[in-house]
Structure 1
Amino acid sequence: MIPFNKPHMTGRELAYIAQAHGLGHLAGNGEFTRRCHVWLEAQTGCGRALLTHSCTAALEMAALLLDLQPGDEVIMPSYTFVSTANAFVLRGAVPVFVDIRADTLNLDETQIEAAITPRTRAIVVVHYAGVGCEMDAILALAQRHGLRVIEDAAQALGSSYRGRPLGSLGDAAALSFHETKNIIAGEGGALLVNAPEWSERAEVMREKGTNRAQFFRGQVDKYTWVDVGSSFLPGELIAAFLLAQFEEAQAITAARMALWQRYHEAFAEQERQGLVRRPVLPAHCEHNAHMYYLLLPDLARRSALIEGLKARGVQAVFHYVPLHRAPAGQRFARAAGALPVTDAVSERLLRLPLWLGLEPEQDRVIEAVRACL
């Protein structure tokens, strides 16, 4: 069976973990964490990078920084992972779901304004498949209404919008280094802070609400509890593993792009025949080849393709069950009107295997898809 995902190792992870072990600093915020922060800030152009133990944790930090009160509203897509909503529900806020675009499958910027109410505090964009949302329009809308913008950039490290790295555009952004992402640490994430007024507070929240980091820099004579917070730090072994991945990020992206492009060219004829729809890439967005998906005409044909590929030894998977359909989504959130594109995409989208090392088997995947359509 060709699996949907297979984690890629660069070859230096264990050596860096051994170095961290030798340094005797295994808790967070050691030398490897510092080097990861430097790399992220240089690559994304964010104001400040802070490693977290997951992207979920980074989103929860963003929710804390918003100072949300019970009943406040946060606009976001329903076609996303549960963490996008859960982080804000934990603060008592109400996710308000807006439909996605039919082309990029990103939040439909033309429908956001109609969903804004006096309780709206923020817009959370999700850069689906590493393709940027229409950030100029969204940022302008947020400015007009006095709203914050949070980027869920879990899938988007290495992608850009009009030449600007995703994760550097909103007030804050969350990244994921889960083993299903391009750059991995098993589990892991980062909060990218771009609003200058949030920088110091984010550091405090990440350190359980204490000014511990300031103490170790010699800025205060003792550290104490000064704000709300929690334990969001990953250990140094995670940071050591991650640094090895960062150092190969350019090569990893290039290899994934080659796989992505091979798929895209292979299914052009099937798209012309109306059997599938391939991903749409706006000219002003540079993506990172996070995933390759196909949109089938309907649920029945997607289900048949999944089963047909399985019979031929290929694991292909669908993606999100929309949050507005989920029991918790109906309990804690609301939809801003009908979400027809979200509903349709959730029943039609199929993701194909895409991982480094797939190259010798990719033609087998392509031929299996063609045979099943």
Structure 2
Amino acid sequence: MTGWLDALERLSGSRTKAGLTRQLRPRPADDLVVDLAGNDYLGLSAHPEVVAASAAALTAYGLGATGSRLVRGSTDAHADLESDLADFLGAESALVFSSGYLANLAAVRGATAVCDLIVSDAYNHASLIDGCKISGRRTIVTPHNDPAAVATILDAHPGQPAVVVTESVFSVDGDLAHLPELHAVTSSRGALLLIDDAHALGILGPAGAGGVAAAGLAGKSDVIVTATLSKSLGGAGGVVAGPAPFIRHLIDTGRTFIYDTALPPAVVAGVHRSLALVRDADDRRTVLTTRASETVTRLTAAGFPVDHPAAAVLSVLAPGPEAAVAWAADCRDRGVAVGCFRPPSTPDGTSRLRLTLNAGVPDEAFTRALDVIVECAP
């Protein structure tokens, strides 16, 4: 094959013209930027107890897990975390992966061992979309957050085993899925419901148990829950929770579990300690609720109407990809980090800033950050 690098350069040029290039921006350990871009919603990633638990496990186990979970990578720390995650999520069993992305790939593909049809929300995260693709099963994409559309599709395929895939709080705009209505649709038609609870875990539900628990669906035999451990829990990794036979199936067949090096025990221990803190973090969840209202009020008054978030994710529309990039860059230059979402990260083809609330940001810094966002608007 000749000229392949030239072909890549031409593709890069096309992305540049469309305003769709991306940059890595390394940050120092002492970074002073106000963080409204990351996903450390409860501000626990640097909590002293979390760091101490991780440091103790680092000393005890060493840097890495040294192998995949089925070889040498499973430790007491992994087993303890999985037990507590299952309890927290109200599930029969839980399995930890090295990332939320890999957990979603495994969960979707695992469900298709018994399901011939996938029904997927149009705004689902890339990891869920990729899980649908690698499964090899027929996938029908429904209009966003539309249980009636899901019902229509399932009714058009009577008797065909299906899994419906959704997020609880959607990662682009932060809106809440209609989970009770959706489960009524799937349960009445014998379909499975797979819910990515990544952006609701730690924030919604009793003691922060997530959007699935808030909807009264925890522990249902026809519900599979996935989540990342890198957002409200402040660490890394992912989890799939659900009926024990399904978790057993993933251990036996899940390629992203079997062939991947396990999550380092030091990270597992830090996440486990964070989970304990999340259970007793109503004060931090109250801060997020207050800041959500403050953000909506401030941005709407400035002429940027935003919907009240279901959890801690808000989106502000930008005129286009170039404007979104410039807006985010100007905020960063003034000490405020905000997310910049452009196609293909935005399924509707529009560009926006994504703001993620963080209970660990001091009040004065948070208020200043809102001022900066408004002042830097295109």
Same fold (TM over 0.5): yes
Partner of 1:76, secondary structure, is strand
Matches within 5 A, 1:134-173: 134-158=178-202, 159-160=204-205, 161=211, 163-164=214-215, 168=219, 171-173=223-225
| Kept after mapping to 2: 8 A contact 1:182/1:252 | no
Rounded Cα–Cα distance in structure 2 between residues aligned with 1:280 and 1:108? 18
Partner of 1:316, secondary structure, is strand
Rounded Cα–Cα distance in structure 1 between residues aligned with 2:113 and 2:39? 38
The residue aligned with 2:153 is 115
Q: Structure 1 pair 233/6, CA: closer, same or farther in 2 (3 Å)? A: closer
Matches within 5 A, 1:281-300: 281=310, 287=311, 289=312, 291=313, 293-296=314-317, 298-299=319-320
Matched, 1:201 2:239: no
Of 98, 107, 114, 1:53 maps to: 98
Deviation at 1:59, TM superposition (A): 1.9
Rounded Cα–Cα distance in structure 2 between residues aligned with 1:150 and 1:74? 10
| Kept after mapping to 1: 8 A contact 2:324/2:351 | yes
Rounded Cα–Cα distance in structure 2 between residues aligned with 1:306 and 1:208? 34
| Residues 131-150 of structure 1, C-alpha deviations (whole Å, 9 max, x = no match) | 64212221221133322111
| One-letter amino acid of the counterpart of residue 100, structure 2 | C
Rounded Cα–Cα distance in structure 2 between residues aligned with 1:16 and 1:148? 37
Rounded Cα–Cα distance in structure 2 between residues aligned with 1:38 and 1:77? 30
Q: Structure 1 pair 28/249, CA: closer, same or farther in 2 (3 Å)? A: farther
Partner of 1:154, secondary structure, is coil
| One-letter amino acid of the counterpart of residue 126, structure 1 | E
Q: Which runs of 5+ in 2 are unaligned?
A: 1-32, 66-71, 206-210
Of 2, 6, 10, 2:47 maps to: 10
Partner of 1:133, secondary structure, is coil
Of 80, 83, 90, 1:38 maps to: 83
Rounded Cα–Cα distance in structure 2 between residues aligned with 1:42 and 1:80? 26
Q: Structure 1 pair 140/258, CA: closer, same or farther in 2 (3 Å)? A: same
Deviation at 1:183, TM superposition (A): 0.8
Identity of aligned residues (%): 16
Q: Structure 1 pair 29/131, CA: closer, same or farther in 2 (3 Å)? A: farther
| Residues 254-300 of structure 1, C-alpha deviations (whole Å, 9 max, x = no match) | 4354145224224426426753223254xxxxx4x3x3x14337548
Q: Structure 1 pair 167/9, CA: closer, same or farther in 2 (3 Å)? A: farther
Q: Structure 1 pair 232/91, CA: closer, same or farther in 2 (3 Å)? A: farther
Q: Structure 1 pair 23/311, CA: closer, same or farther in 2 (3 Å)? A: closer
| Kept after mapping to 2: 8 A contact 1:9/1:245 | no
Of 343, 362, 367, 2:366 maps to: 362
Matches within 5 A, 1:1-373: 1-3=33-35, 4-5=37-38, 8-20=45-57, 26=65, 27-68=72-113, 72-100=116-144, 107-116=145-154, 117-118=156-157, 121-127=162-168, 128=170, 132-158=176-202, 159-160=204-205, 161=211, 163-164=214-215, 168=219, 171-178=223-230, 181-185=231-235, 187-193=236-242, 195-205=243-253, 230-231=259-260, 233-250=262-279, 254-255=283-284, 257-268=286-297, 270-271=299-300, 274-281=303-310, 287=311, 289=312, 291=313, 293-296=314-317, 298-299=319-320, 305-306=327-328, 308-319=330-341, 321-322=343-344, 343=348, 347=350, 349-359=352-362, 360-372=364-376
Deviation at 1:196, TM superposition (A): 4.9
Rounded Cα–Cα distance in structure 2 between residues aligned with 1:296 and 1:29? 44
Q: Structure 1 pair 136/55, CA: closer, same or farther in 2 (3 Å)? A: same
Rounded Cα–Cα distance in structure 1 between residues aligned with 2:96 and 2:76? 12
Rounded Cα–Cα distance in structure 2 between residues aligned with 1:280 and 1:20? 36
Q: Which runs of 5+ in 1 are unaligned?
A: 101-106, 210-228, 282-286, 326-341
Rounded Cα–Cα distance in structure 1 between residues aligned with 2:300 and 2:371? 15
| One-letter amino acid of the counterpart of residue 130, structure 2 | N
| One-letter amino acid of the counterpart of residue 200, structure 1 | R
Rounded Cα–Cα distance in structure 1 between residues aligned with 2:256 and 2:125? 26
After superposition, the CA RMSD in angstroms is 3.6
| One-letter amino acid of the counterpart of residue 66, structure 1 | A
| Kept after mapping to 2: 8 A contact 1:125/1:151 | yes
